[in-house]
Amino acid sequence: MGETWSQQVSRPYCTVEIWINEERLGRLQDIGLAELAEEVLAGMRVLRIPCAEVEARELLGQCPAAKHDAATTGTIELLPPAVKSALFELVVRHGSLDVVRDYLNDVSAESD
């Protein structure tokens, strides 16, 4: 059975991958999200933050060096470390992966 309309619109447009080391994994364990981080190399894990199309456009607008790799990984590459750290802190604070909009709002509020 194919995807329903609601599944299609809720599917993330792309993801932002955040590296999870032992210290970060401990913080994810504290909020019950550790299982969402996939181990990829010798204890290093990746946490995939979903990002809607409009959010991706805004992120790319803020970070000109970043790129959306639509062809292979489907991720936003080359985001500055500070942006990824801020996204991770929001995950820990909110206990949720849906944090890109919150991040963009925070940045927008800071610039006002």
Partner 1 sequence: MNNVGHGNSPITERVLSASDDMSAQLAGLRQVSVDGRVARETINLAYGFFTPLTGFMNSEDVHAVCNNMHLKSGVLWPIPIVLDASAEELHSNQIREGDGLLLTYEGNPLAVMDVEEIFDYDVEAMARAVLGTADTAHPGVGMYKSMRDRFVAGPVTLVAAPRFREPYDRFWHTPLELRRAFHDRQWLRVVAHQTRNVPHGGHEWLMKGAWFAANGDLGVERIQTGILVSCIIGPKRVGDYIDEAIILGHQALQDGGYFRRDVHLVSIALWDMRYAGPKEALFHAILRENMGCSHHMFGRDHAGVGRFYDPYDAHRIFDALGIEELAIKPVRLLEWWYCPVCKEITYSGLCGHVDRRQSFSGSMIRSILQDEVKPTTLVFRPEVFDATMTAAALYGGGSPFCTAEYLSSRPPVFDMPPTGSHAR
Sites of contact with partner 1 (CB under 8 A): 17-24, 39-44, 78, 81, 84
Cβ-proximal residues to 22 (8 Å cutoff; 6+ apart), any chain: 43
Nearest residue (CB) to partner 1, 24 versus 68: 24
Shortest spacing between CB 64 and partner 1, in angstroms:
14
Shortest spacing between CB 3 and partner 1, in angstroms:
29
Q: Which long-range contacts (CB under 8 A, 24 or more apart) does 18-21 make?
A: 18/46, 18/47, 18/48, 18/49, 18/84, 18/87, 18/88, 18/91, 19/44, 19/45, 19/46, 19/84, 20/44, 20/45, 20/46, 20/47
Nearest residue (CB) to partner 1, 24 versus 58: 24
Nearest residue (CB) to partner 1, 21 versus 108: 21
Shortest spacing between CB 44 and partner 1, in angstroms:
6
Nearest residue (CB) to partner 1, 56 versus 88: 88
